[in-house]
A and B are shown apart, each in its own frame.
Chain A
Amino acid sequence: MVKATSVTNNIRALRAANGDITQASLAERIGVTRQTIIAIEQGRYSPSLEVAFQIAHVFGVPLDDVFHYGGSHS
């Protein structure tokens, strides 16, 4: 899979840790399509700041716990 962005994320793990939230359910809660969640998870699309905050809000964690840029993830 081509990585089109330097932004990585933990969305898949967070979905699993929060009662196996489906991609469709997460998409519905933040008002985007399921394909957009898939693209974000796979690193094919860098979400807007607003969408990034909305995703973090759904999981109840800070933005840093969801998204990481370049080598910032330890």
Chain B
Amino acid sequence: MTLEERRSWAFLAVAVVAYGVYLATVLARAASAPLVDVDYVPAMLWSIGSSIVAGIVLGIVLGIFTPRRDQPKDVRDRDIARLGERVGQSFLVVGGVAALLLSITEAPYFYIANVVYLCFVLSAVLGSVTRVVVYRRGF
């Protein structure tokens, strides 16, 4: 398994875990207050910040523990990375459009922020899943 494939698995895991923890935190707080009144901002910032840090740290750790022969990035890795980015971008567009519509309708900030964050996560997950599947099954 090349370093880039390992990193794809790592980014997928980080995105899922970070969002899962955020969702659990917000839903737990929503048990005692209406959803739109939940103080979601600190949890969201922690979730985004920790996923960025975890992604960087995991990338470095994987680089240290991956055999040297599996470390170089070649033309196939770049092709797969491009495909993953293209697939993931669809959700960024969906998130942007959803945030626009929510803003126009003057929806609470809670929904605007969360739909954007959800689409960021779905973009990362879809892009990572695409890369992992393509590494395994080919294209």
Residues of A within 8 A of B (CB): 2-5, 24, 31-36, 39, 42-45, 47-48, 50-51
Q: SS class of chain A's interface: helix, strand, loop or mixed?
A: loop
Contacts of B76 in A (CB 8 A): 32-33, 35-36, 39, 45, 47
Within the complex, the shortest CB–CB distance from B101 to chain A, in Å, comes to 38
With CB as the reference atom, state the residue of chain B lying closest to A42. B138
Q: Can you list 19 pairs linking A and B with CB atoms under 8 Å apart?
A: A2-B137, A2-B138, A4-B137, A31-B74, A32-B74, A33-B2, A33-B70, A33-B72, A35-B1, A35-B2, A35-B5, A36-B74, A39-B138, A44-B139, A45-B76, A45-B139, A47-B75, A50-B75, A51-B75
CB-based contact B74/A24 at 8 Å = no
Within the complex, the shortest CB–CB distance from A49 to chain B, in Å, comes to 11
Within the complex, the shortest CB–CB distance from A10 to chain B, in Å, comes to 18
Given A31-B74, A39-B138, A44-B139, 9 extra CB contacts under 8 A: A2-B137, A3-B138, A33-B2, A33-B74, A33-B76, A35-B2, A36-B74, A44-B137, A51-B75
Contacts of A34 in B (CB 8 A): 69-70
CB-based contact A32/B138 at 8 Å = no
Which of these, A31, A44, A48, contacts B138 with CB under 8 Å? A44
Which of these, A5, A36, A43, contacts B75 with CB under 8 Å? A36
- Interfacial residues of chain B within 1-42, with CB under 8 A of chain A in the complex: 1-2, 5
Contacts of A35 in B (CB 8 A): 1-2, 5, 70, 76
- Interfacial residues of chain B within 90-139, with CB under 8 A of chain A in the complex: 137-139
Given contacts A33-B2, A35-B1, contact A43 B72 (CB under 8 A): no
With CB as the reference atom, state the residue of chain A lying closest to B73. A33
**Best-surrounded residue of A35, A43, A47 (most CB of chain B within 10 A):** A35
CB-based contact A4/B139 at 8 Å = yes
Which of these, B1, B75, B137, B139, contacts A32 with CB under 8 Å? B75
With CB as the reference atom, state the residue of chain A lying closest to B80. A45
Which of these, A3, A24, A48, contacts B69 with CB under 8 Å? A24
